Amino acid sequence: MSEYQPAVEKIIKSARQNNNSYMKLQELCDDIGCRLSGSPELEQAIDWAVESLQKDGHENVRKEPVNVPKWVRGKESCELVSPRSMAIQMLGLGGSIGTGAGGIEADVIVVDSKEELDELADEAIQGKIVVFNCAMPRFSETEGSGYGSTVIYRSNGARWAAERGGVAALVRSITAYSLDSPHTGAMRYSGGPDVKKIPTAAISVEGATLLRRFQNRGITPRVKLYMEAEDQGEAPSHNVLAEIVGYEKPEEIVVIGGHIDSWDVGTGAHDDGAGCVAAMEALAILRRLNLKPRRTIRVVLWTNEENGIAGALNYFNRHQDEIHVAGIESDSGGFSPEGLNLDMEDKQKESVAEVQLQGLLDLLKPINASRLRTGFSGVDIGQLKPMGTACLGLSVDGRLYFNTHHTHADTVDKVDPKQLTDCAVTMAAAAFVLADMPKKLGEK
């Protein structure tokens, strides 16, 4: 891989001379704002991306139509009624039904885990608002974020509560750090037609732990939940594509991208504005340096990752006959890049790819982004795994991501321009080498 060292050095030097990624992020997040599927802002963002990619001079800039689910939050509130009156900070969960005009007022039962719920008698749950007070562990270098083990409460809490006769489910926000900030996210109703759909919302860590302390002291808190949330069917949306077409094997493709949609709070700066602009700027860096690889590099900005992955599924169906050598998704925030995560269907090829990728990542030692791990790549790019594509996730410093994830506070001020630039550098360097190396990644 040492033959690529001059190109990677050029990429680093050129990218660090400006704040182009950060400028793009401001246009996307400050000028347009949050971008939930089905909203006019999401389509504005998509049109902005097309225009920006055209301005950067890329080939085959286009939108591909995708139908996405449309869920609308409406007005909502959660009030502690007894033992005293107080507003509990909340955000309804994406996909939840509303409460009806009168809201739902009921006594609360708090559990810290599914196991604790399972041990309760039916009478303790029936007619109650069930609060899942499961704490997300603090980030650690060895264990990571602990998101996977706690997000199941957000996804399944409504079903678990409904199965036992609960009338609504409140879920402690999936975060290890809180300033009374509620964190929204997707939920799903499953368990078959016999399980009643009940409204569900995230409440702040402060709210959930207060309710727990009341219960521990023998006080039964009473809460009134009001949500206008509504499923409004489907709406038209689009994936965005742009390319540097390869000079030797244009039909072989390396994808880089992020998801253009966000939740309807904050401005989706880290999630996933940062991933989109890093991929866009990565292509722009290569274009400016006139680094044209053998294969085609394609930016894809997927729509509807947050509450449906309709964009990634549509991309897969539309492009499954093309040769996707590798794909890199950035969807862990725009923090200092640490390297790449690799996930491949064929484990033999994966072990060959590991050696090749480590050689590639060694070129990124000057920006400390040389760590290769195997495991989860990304929700959108992961859809390409069954085709044999080497799926890669941009891995970044993960200490802060979940502090503001899916909150009102996921805004541009949380993103460091230099760190974001290095994300674009890592994607540009990796995409260029993967698209230019004589053999395909994973081939001996």
Positions that interact with Zn ion (CB under 5 A): 271-272, 331
Q: Which two tokens stand for residue 413?
A: 């001020």
Q: What's the closest the beta carbon of residue 305 comes to Zn ion, in angstroms?
A: 6
> Tokens standing for 239?
């994936």
Residue nearer to Zn ion on the CB measure, 264 or 271:
271
Shortest distance (Å) from residue 261 CB to Zn ion: 9
CB of 309 to Zn ion, least distance (A): 11
Nearer to Zn ion, 207 or 393 (CB): 393
CB of 48 to Zn ion, least distance (A): 18
Q: How far apart are CA 172 and CA 183, in angstroms?
A: 9
Helix, coil or strand: residue 163: helix
CB 255 within 8 A of CB 326: yes
- The packing angle between helices 40-55 and 274-288, to 10°, is 10
Element (H, E) at 434: helix 417-436
Give the residue with the Cβ less far from Zn ion, 88 or 394: 394
CA gap 444, 423 in Å, rounded: 29
Sign of CA dihedral 24, 30, 32, 34: positive
Residue 76 near residue 228 (C-beta atoms within 8 A): yes
Name which of 102 and 148 has its Cβ closer to Zn ion: 148
Query: Cα-Cα-Cα-Cα dihedral of 266, 270, 276, 281, to 10°?
Result: 120
130: nearest Cα among 159, 151, 101, 155: 159
Q: Quote the least distance from Cβ 271 to Zn ion, whole Å.
A: 4
Which of the residues are catalytic? 305
Nearer to Zn ion, 243 or 272 (CB): 272
